[in-house]
Structure 1
């Protein structure tokens, strides 16, 4: 219940002017984090916000009693409005709220079974409600499932609850089956002057509208995006050696008997995380055909129909075993079906996901199943591998010509710390042409305080951009600083001319006057012109912070490697800065740095996963500044699939365009 309480939130109207804990009318109801940056609540709670926008109050630090506030936007509501003349909000009465900026928070574990709440006996309800003292307090109670209004194939099915009192404001809160340790539903309503109320099963989210256009990315289908993020979240925390917190899999393992059947909670969390690395099923029909091909599985009995890989796994739990090994064999056959299934789209990480899932299947089969069954699996994997290799060859087809940043003008901002005045900087701004000519715009050697730089430089930067921007194609901004200042977030500065962060308007990269041997720089830079690139995390191993290797070891990395500093942070200490210098000493012309603060127990697997995809997608060196620009625009546009990149900076140093010397840079009168 502690894990549930940590993830349960309050939902308010934005900017109502009432005290948040007072008796004012800004409090709308409850909700809970179902996945990173996603909240599940009732439609009748979420849609009372103005313009589909609400404020979410949540617990950012589980050891603190203070709540933090973040804005959220309703992305999906079922239904989206109350029918005229209706006294209540019709079922399923569910809504998904997407946070409008990235924050750290915990998430609940959601069941993958169909009609899990109706199979529960005693359930716990959690939510916020007004207290007698006039504020808001978290409230929990125990209810008993008494049945349902509507059949399983009825779109408006709701579950009847009896038992404890459900208070006003608890609508949208989670319903928890403590026997299995999972969230199975959402509180919908209470009974006036009586105990109990109604709730909606979590599986009703499967009725969320299927996109009409082809699904080309995970984010194109909200249902798949949310549940893939949910499953990766729990798998990453369960598998991370860095995290010291008790996970859902840990506490579920202590239940008697532990849920998950032959898998158990820990194997189940691991498997669901691996399945979430794949593109979703092409269609519900395709998933049903896969399930129907398995012995003893009656997929049509599950209402609403399974829609994602996790739903398909949940459909296997009810199959009656013909012998001891049958349940586990069924799970592994299902995994092989996922490996062989058609995909709505393909990404470079799919190949890695397939190998990871096969290794899991092979390990489980070797530990527990017969040799004959293992031989069948090996033959199936051989056929799948041939198909994956063919997909890989198609993906490596020569791409279209990328933008060559070296062939057009860019803006250069140089910041130099004053050795005699702490935290004060001289600066110079110019426009660099592809011919090597540097046109001065403005400079100041009087020393500017770091926190006043954005305002002080705004006019000069605006003028420089005006000189080299082209319609629909903003010029690149290169920021030259010492490695100790790589944490300076110039990409977040805003110019009055457009009111948006610089990194959203244009590509922004870092440079340094300090770099490695010229011949090594040129060799590495040349190797990345048109070939594929791959990310190499150099300061984090198994999600634990490690020292950046020495130059001799860094030199063993392939020329197409892009070093990634996962733990650079916003205020690097001398040891971290020295690690960045070693990367430059090795001649790397590109490196990625995560500047968001991290703790020693930070779970960073999602960052590793996504940064590898981003580098691979960029294909060649000139595509990486554009890729990062695209990600920054995604964060600004509140696309949750890009939130992982918040705080990432790119070091991008083209040896063919060296920085001008101090004596030849700006000679403005």
Structure 2
């Protein structure tokens, strides 16, 4: 049965790009995959994991009737979203269940599917094509049998899950099959699972490819270049047939932006250098939309292609004025970076022939949003002032550039990890959420685990490693890795986040510890929602104060007293030479938070029970030098990072700052409220 709106030529092209996957020796069918770029087959990681366990370099076979004359071709795992640790024995989480195989024969010719450039998917009629095992009796060996089914997506699961209505039946071996949107003629998902004993199933949205980080840019660029070179003189290709579908849109007055325009535009965007993080894509797309942000719920855009996908409105294709404006803005951005966007601008100029005057004027007079090419915010990076704390001896002159911590509204993003303790757990366990926050438009959860038993502290790093790597890859810009803010209860302030290793085997030029690579600060998760006036007032006075001063908390041979924290000078920063999560340190930290302090330093390692010793004096001296050298509190995160970098390079494990944590809790960019208050019941 062919769903309404499905195109027979596109169905045939989809079938030509789809292959079955198995071992090099005679073996049962493992699953299905499909070509997304020259030499690259996309499938589910769980199709490969049981067979590659212990040998990730093992060759596999891909085959299809329209590939290599029907003869199998060898391929190997190119990359997948699974961690580098032990392969899963059972179910692979949906957001990590993607893998790419690369053909060993680089010259093999094959069809490639057209991947949607949209983030949103409204649901509707679709087609799934794949392979299932057939035969298997004495006379007929097991073989891969092609199958096809209609599929209507009628639900969504988290950021990447597409639920398929139970009227579709999926056979064993179908995992990794492409899911085609019949409305637009674009592949929108990868079939993951069927429902045991019932119809229906689950697919992974192709937007999950963004989790490949920097490799996603290379993949989509190769995809768009391939389609840009596809035949344009016959109707037997994806783009020409998409023109016949309802998703092509209907516009009048010369404002049509059809599939042919999209193919040409994306092929030329693929030749432009990648954007410097998410912010340029968001801002240029917003300006192209007339200053209106993309509809809520969109995933953060990683590439110029993703920015084009933000121009859709309520499922309708972009208007020509918005798309051409966006392309010209990308060209201006590339030119301002010293690149050569002439291939893109030449095509835009040709496309402007015959368009209404208003379109021509808007596009040709396009200018970049102010400050877009200054990743360190207004005024650029702050230069180090006076005696920089980053010197290897902890106190000499240091003239390296200090990056200020992002300010609300300057467009630079931070990565925020929220660790919420599970209330009724007998031992410490956490729910977690990862957000990207630029203080403006970007402030949505990207990954989270908010149900079940939670995660114990010893498993947090392993749980967060993959999601954080993906978000950092999207937000980092050259010379300015995105800072990491970890919000957790004060009782857990001694969690040495700066010692987290987010890669098990770091490259030689990439330190394993997150606190060496990027600024890492802690925040108080109890300060969710509307900021307390006391907190805001103290932050305001701190921002207006002069040279920062270190205030030993509590003073020598004294117990913590609230008055000491309340009466501390505006430029005073509490410094504890002891852990802040237990004992006297916990009492002092509680008083500091109650007094509105948003910045504090403390040593997370064990403190002598008999009182302060020589090392405590060293901690306070080092903190005093670092604070006095800073030109403001917003320099402290990067100054502390540079000290950690020097410690790492010199292997000085006994350095005063090795175990130091930094509270940097800006009330101008508060953590969002958890939304768990009472609600009206209907």
What TM-score comes out, normalization by structure 2 length? 0.47
What TM-score comes out, normalization by structure 1 length? 0.47
